[in-house]
Structure 1
C-alpha cells in the first residue's frame, strides 16, 4: 500500500477538484501559504525544547533564528502549498483527519542534527523512538486523503524531527545526554501564512487510549 501511495498519480478530477498537479508545485514553498498536519509539544515538552535551544545558542554563535515557542512542532503530513489555500482544501483535510483511527504513543529524540533546506539549514531534534507509529499515522492520513479524492503525499523516507533553528551554519550530529520525549496524544491541522509569526490552529483530533 505504501509503495502504491508514493508512486500514485491522480489522473481524473476528484469530487473536490484537487486532482490537478498544479495544486502542489515542486518549487520552493517560501512565500506561499502551506497547510499541514503536525504534532504539537505539550507544555512540558515545549519547555524542554526551549532549554535545548538555549544550550545550543550558547554553544553555537551562528544559531540566531530560533523557532519561537508557538511554532515548535513535529511535521506529520503536508497537505498543500499554494499562493492561497482554498477553503475546500481545508474542509477536505478535516474530513480525512476525522476518519483516522490511531492510538496514542510517545516520540523520543536522542540527537541534534542539521537538515539542508532550500534557503538555510534546519537544526533539528531527531531520533527513531516512536518513528514507526508516527509513520503509520502519516500513511493513514495519506490513505484517507486519497479516499476523498485528493492526491496522497506519503513519503517513503519519512523522518520525524522538530526544527529548533534555521541557520546559515550546520551543527554536527550530537547525542543528547537525555533523550527528549514528546507525548503524542493528538494531531492538529496548521495553516501557515507568509509573514505571520504564528500558525493558525485549524482543528485537532485526539488519538485513542491504548487497548
Structure 2
C-alpha cells in the first residue's frame, strides 16, 4: 500500500507519496561506493539526469518484503529469522558493463529509466544466496522476488538511453555479508536493521 498525502502543508505544498521498503541487499565498501557515485556523475555530464544515486544508497538488491505505508513488524521479524538461518560462503561479483534498462513503453509511462552496472556472469554462489532467501520467504508465506537473479547496481535515472558499454577494467566486489535494510521515500540513507556474515 502507498500512502498519498493530499493535504498541503503550511507553505502550500503537497507532500509526495511516501513508501516504505524493507529488503535484503548487498552493499559495496564505502570507498568503492564513492567512486561509483563519481563515475555516475561523469557518465551524466552533458546529459539530463533526473537523479544520481548517492554513495550511501548504492546497493545490489536481493529479495524484498511487501512495500507499504509503514514497517510490517511481523514480516520484519520473519525476515530477521530468515537472515539468521542462511549459511552460504562469500563470493566475488564482477561488474563488467553499464546499460540502461528502458523497459519499453511501460517504463516510458513510469518515468526516467535506470542506468545500471551489471554482471555478465553472476557466480553460482550469488545465485544460491538469492534462491535460499527466496525459498525461505516463500515457506514463511512472504512475497518473494523473481526466480532469476540479475545482480546490478543502479547508478542514476534519466529519460534518455545510455548506449551499453563494456568496462575496460571490470569492478570486482568481494561479498562477505548481506543485510536487511529499510528505507522510505525521501530518506537520505537506508536504515540497517541487521547484517549477517557469509560463511558455511
Shorter-chain TM-score category?
0.7 to 0.9
Q: CA deviation at 1:165?
A: 0.3
What stretches of structure 1 of length at least 5 have no aligned partner? 1-21, 23-29
Distance 1:55 1:75 in 2: 24
CA contact (8 A) 1:48 1:180 kept: no
Deviates more, 1:34-43 or 1:130-139: 130-139
Aligned to 2:187, the other structure's residue is in SS state coil
Is 1:81–2:73 an aligned residue pair?
A: no
Match of 2:169 in 1: 178
Match of 1:169 in 2: 160
With over 3 angstroms needed to count, the CA separation of the structure-2 counterparts of 1:75 and 1:91, relative to structure 1, is: same
TM-score, normalization by structure 1: 0.77
Aligned to 1:81, the other structure's residue is in SS state coil
Match of 2:14 in 1: none
Distance 1:96 1:119 in 2: 34
TM-score, normalization by structure 2: 0.81
Aligned-residue Cα RMSD (Å) equals 1.9
Match of 2:35 in 1: 48
Matches within 5 A, 1:181-192: 181-192=172-183
Partner residue of 1:130 out of 108, 122, 132: 122
Q: What do the CA deviations read for 1:116-161 (whole angstroms, capped 9, x no partner)?
A: 35332001000134343222111101222233x2235141232110
Partner residue of 2:94 out of 88, 97, 108: 108
Matches within 5 A, 1:1-211: 31-58=18-45, 60-116=46-102, 117=107, 118-147=110-139, 149-208=140-199
Q: CA deviation at 1:52?
A: 2.0
What stretches of structure 2 of length at least 5 have no aligned partner? 2-16
Distance 2:180 2:37 in 1: 23
CA contact (8 A) 2:26 2:178 kept: yes
Count of matched residue pairs: 179
